Amino acid sequence: MPALGCCVDASVSPPHGYAFSWDSSLPAPELFSSGVPPATNAAAVTAGSHWSTDLSSALYRVDGWGAPYFSVNASGDISVRPHGTDTLPHQEIDLLKVVKKASDPKILGGLGLQMPLVVRFPDVLKNRLETLQSAFDMAVSSQGYEAHYQGVYPVKCNQDRFVVEDIVKFGSPYRFGLEAGSKPELLLAMNCLSKGSADALLVCNGFKDTEYISLALVARKLLLNTVIVLEQEEELDLVIDISRKMAVRPVIGLRAKLRTKHSGHFGSTSGEKGKFGLTTAQILRVVKKLDESGMLDCLQLLHFHIGSQIPTTELLADGVGEATQIYSELVRLGAGMKFIDIGGGLGIDYDGSKSSNSDVSVGYGIEEYASAVVQAVLYVCDRKGVKHPVICSESGRAIVSHHSILIFEAVSASTTHVSTQPSSGGLQSLVETLNEDARADYRNLSAAAVRGEYDTCLLYSDQLKQRCVEQFKDGSLDIEQLAAVDSICDWVLKAIGVADPVRTYHVNLSVFTSIPDFWGFSQLFPIVPIHRLDEKPTMRGILSDLTCDSDGKVDKFIGGESNLPLHEIGSNAGGDGGRYYLGMFLGGAYEEALGGLHNLFGGPSVVRVLQSDSPHSFAVTRSVPGPSCADVLRAMQFEPELMFETLKHRAEEFLEQGEGEGLAFASLTSSLAQSFHNMPYLVSSSSCFTAEANANNGGYYYYSEDNAADCATEEDEIWSY
C-alpha cells in the first residue's frame, strides 16, 4: 500500500512497489482502482471504464420499483411511460425536459418555477385506476363471481383538488367513489362526486360527531350514495336520532375489528386492539338496536382494514375470509347487506425486491391481489349460501403513489481536502510540540501505514487526533497545529484506501416538508438522479437538507443501502449547465398532506403534465409556484404586510438620507418586499439569472424585482413543449 514518505521513519523499508511520496506519483489504492467507490449492490457497478444506461437501471433498481411507468432512456435520463405497458415509444416523456421547461426562466421559454418541484402525471393516475379496475373485473369474470367491484379513493392519501377531481373523472365509468375521514374531507368529496357517477359510493369513515353525521345525511339528501360507517358503538345513537329529525333514511356500515393482522409497521391499526372498529359483541348490540328501531335494513356495508402494505396474499385471504364470515352472519341476522369494503392494504413495491418480508415491498401484484380477494369472498359466501356482495376497496396508496415525482437539486457536496506536503522542518517542529503519548501514536501510525495495516492505522489515527484535541483544549497546541495533525491523519487514511468515501450532498429541500414519512418512521422511497445515467457514478453520498436540524438528512436508501451512488456535481457532461437533479419516486400518497413547516420551509412548486402529440410528447396544463415566505409566515399567525411596514419604517429611521441615499432606500425596501414574495428555498441562477448574482453568490440567490416578472407563472394555461 502507499506509504507516507516524510511521515515515516526512513529506517523502515517500504513494501515492494511503493514509494515514500506526497505527490501524485503514488499508485491508486487497490480499493478504488475501478474509479468507483465500494457498493453493496456490486452487481451493478462493474470494473472497467465502460458504462451504460442498463447498468444505471440495474444499480438504482429502476426496472424493479419503476415498472411499468419509469425507465432509463438512451440519453441517460429517466423516462416516464404515462400509459404503463400501453405506452408507445413516441409517447414516452423525458423527465429532464419537463424539469427544464418548469424551471427555466420565461425569457428562455420556461415557466420560471422554483425548486423543489412536484411533477404530476394524470395519465399515470388514470392508468393505475384502470389497472386496478381491470384486475378485479378479470377476477370476477374468471371466477364466476356474481357481483361486481367498485372502488373508492381515500382522499386522505392526497387531498389535492386536481388529484381528487381526476380520480372522480377517470373512475366515473366504473362507479368509482370517494372515502372521507373528516368533515373537510367529506365536504370536498361531496363537491367532487357531484360530477361523478350516481352509483359511486361516498364512504364516511372516522370518528363522528353530530355535525359530521348531519353533513353525511345532507349528502344523502343530495342523492349522493352515502354510507355512514360506524367506528364506535356510540355513533349509532346519533345516526338514529339525527336521521329521524332530518327525515332521511340512512345507509349504515360498520367497521369490524378482525382478529387477523400483520406484524409489520403498517399493521398497528388492525387486530383486536386496533384503533378503529367494533368487536363481535358490539356488532351484535348494533344489530339488536337497529332491529328494535326498525332500521336493520339500513345496515348494508361491512368494512374492515387489515393494515397498509399487506405483505402477502395469504394474509390478505385470511383477513377477507374472516370478514366475509361476519358479513354472512349479518345477512343471517336480517341486515340488508350489499357491500363488503376490504379497506386499504394493496401494497407498493418501493424497492423492487418483490419481498413479502419487508415494510417497503410486497410479494404480489395487482392481479394476484384482486384474485385473492374475490376467491376468498366467493368461497365463504358459496359455502354459506349467501348472495355475493359488491366488493369495495380503499386502495389509495396503490392508486396515487406512482403519478407524482418530487424533483430537487443537489447544490453542493462535501469534499475531503488533503494538505500539500509539509516541509521536513515543519513536520519535525509539529511533532516536537506533541506530548510523549501523541508522538508514540504518530510513530505507530507511520509504521502501520508502511505495513499496510488498515485497522491499526484507524486505531492510531483516532488516538492521535484525540490526544491532540486534549492538548488543544489545555492550550499547548494552537489551531494551525491541530489542523495540521488532522490533515496528516486524513491523508494517511486516504493513501491506504480506508478514508470515508461517502460525501454529503446538500440538497435544496426540506425532508420534514417533502419526505415526512422518512423522518417519522424511516419509510424508504426510491431516490435516483433523473439524468446523467449514461455516466458512471463515481461517488457515494447521503443527502442533507436545508433545515437547521440534524434529522434533516436522508441516509437510508432502498436495497438496505446507507448511501447512494451519485455523480460529481458541476460536470456539464450532460449539457445541463452543471445542475444535478434528483427525483424521489412513489411519493404521491401522504407526503404532501403530512409535510409540515419546520424552519418555515413550505411545500414545493407543482406542475401537471399530460402526454401529448407535441414534439417532446408532453404539455404542461397547470403550474403553481410553491408557498412564498409571506404564505408560511401567515400560517404562523404573522401578518407579512405589517411586518414589511415595520421594517420599512425602521429603514426610514436609521438610513441616512444624504445624496444618493434615496436610491439605496428604494432598493432596500424593494428587496424586502420581494423577499416576502419569494419561496424560502435557494434559487438557482439558471432559473432567474443575472451575471452579477451568479458571480457574487455561487449561483444561488433570491429573486430581485427586476427579474421577478420573468419568473412569474400563469395558472390554467397550456404550454406544449
Active site residues: 548
For residue 665, what is the enclosing H or E element?
helix 661-677
Q: What gap in Å lies between CA 220 and CA 226, rounded to an integer?
A: 6
Per-residue three-class SS string for 109-142: CCCCCCCCEEEECHHHHHHHHHHHHHHHHHHHHH
Give me the residue label for grid cell 475531503. 416
* Strand ranges across the sheet with 201-204: 152-154, 177-180, 201-204, 225-230, 252-255, 299-303, 339-341, 390-392
Q: What gap in Å lies between CA 674 and CA 653, rounded to an integer?
A: 21
Angle at 231 between CA 225 and CA 236, to 5 degrees: 75
Q: Under a CB-based contact definition with an 8 Å cutoff, are residues 650 and 672 in contact?
A: no
- Long-range contacts, 698-704 (Cβ 8 Å, 24+): 700/411, 702/674, 702/675, 702/678, 703/674, 703/677, 703/678, 704/670, 704/671, 704/674
Q: Under a CB-based contact definition with an 8 Å cutoff, are residues 564 and 525 in contact?
A: no
Q: What gap in Å lies between CA 260 and CA 311, rounded to an integer?
A: 13
* Closest of 371, 373, 389 to residue 381, by C-alpha: 389
Measured CA to CA in angstroms, residue 485 lies from 322, 436, 442, 458 at distances of 68, 15, 9, 14
Task: Provide the 10 A C-beta neighbour count for residue 688.
Answer: 28
Q: Strand, helix or coil at 258?
A: coil
* Closest of 146, 127, 148 to residue 70, by C-alpha: 127
Where helices occur in 46-119 by DSSP H, the ranges are: 53-59, 62-65, 95-103
CA-based radius of gyration for the chain: 31
